[in-house]
Amino acid sequence: MTLFFLILAFSLSTPEPLLEAEDTIARGATAMYTISLEDGLDYWILLNFEDRMDLDIIIASDEMNYDEFIQLPYFEDFMYARAFAIAEGATEGTEDLVLTAPYTGTAYIIIHDIGETGGEYHLRLF
């Protein structure tokens, strides 16, 4: 009975994500999501995927030119966005990072399949 209450308390204390996406990325591809930030707020970003995969994630500022980004081929688009990064997770395995918003406005979550395996991922922003 105590276990039930612990599980219930945990599920009630976990907030709903501001953004949640379960998707598939092609081998070597880049995916992008647009978010709105509020200056000074902390955002927790989690990117989970299979062990055999290696995905990198950056949060690019609104200074990035979307039209230029979208015209670039895979990997070049990621490197271009990286020049505007306000947060970055480039570790092996699951990405878990906190971003304190430096401004109020649009930002871009950029995910790249650096391991060139493709596969399914689960992105959450709290």
Tens-digit pLDDT profile for residues 1-40: 554 444 445 555 668 999 999 999 999 999 999 999 999 9
Name all domains of the chain by residue range, CATH numbers in brackets.
Answer: 18-125 (2.60.120.380)
Asked whether the beta carbons of 55 and 25 are under 8 A apart, the reply is yes
Residue 92's pLDDT is what? 72
The predicted-structure confidence for 35-67, as pLDDT tens digits, reads as follows: 999 999 999 999 999 988 999 999 999 999 999
Residue 13's pLDDT is what? 62
Residue 11's pLDDT is what? 52
Q: What is the largest CA-CA distance in the chain?
A: 57
Residue 6's pLDDT is what? 44
Asked whether the beta carbons of 40 and 100 are under 8 A apart, the reply is yes
The whole model's pTM is what? 0.84
The predicted-structure confidence for 79-113, as pLDDT tens digits, reads as follows: 999 999 999 986 777 889 999 999 999 999 999 99
Residue 87's pLDDT is what? 96
Residue 89's pLDDT is what? 86
Residue 34's pLDDT is what? 97
